[in-house]
């Protein structure tokens, strides 16, 4: 138990909590960027003209 308290005390003194929060913010921003890029790609695919099947009958 003393070891855990020592680790927590060291984390508070070294500002580790702030670093963890900043790392989480960076990860969330990066994730958002990836999601936004995927949305853009999917929307571009919908806007892109597609080939249409042409039925050719043997008459």
Q: How far apart are CA 30 and CA 23, in angstroms?
A: 11
Looking at residue 31, what is its pLDDT?
92
Looking at residue 22, what is its pLDDT?
85
- Rounded (5°) CA angle 8-14-18: 90
Looking at residue 20, what is its pLDDT?
81
Between the two ends of the chain, the Cα-to-Cα distance in Å is: 88
Looking at residue 13, what is its pLDDT?
74
Tokens of 56: 């050719």
Looking at residue 59, what is its pLDDT?
60
Give the pLDDT of the chain (59 residues) as one tens digit per residue.
788 888 778 777 777 778 888 888 999 999 999 999 999 988 887 777 777 777 777 76
What is the full DSSP assignment across 1-59? -HHHHHHHHHHHHHTHHHHHHHHHHHHHHHHHHHHHHHHHHHHHHHHS-----------
């Amino acid at each position: 138990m003393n070891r855990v308290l020592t680790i927590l005390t060291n984390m508070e003194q070294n500002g580790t909590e702030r670093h963890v929060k900043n790392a989480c913010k960076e990860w969330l921003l990066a994730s958002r960027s990836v999601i936004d890029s995927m949305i853009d790609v999917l929307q571009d695919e919908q806007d892109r003209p597609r080939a249409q099947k042409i039925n050719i009958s043997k008459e």
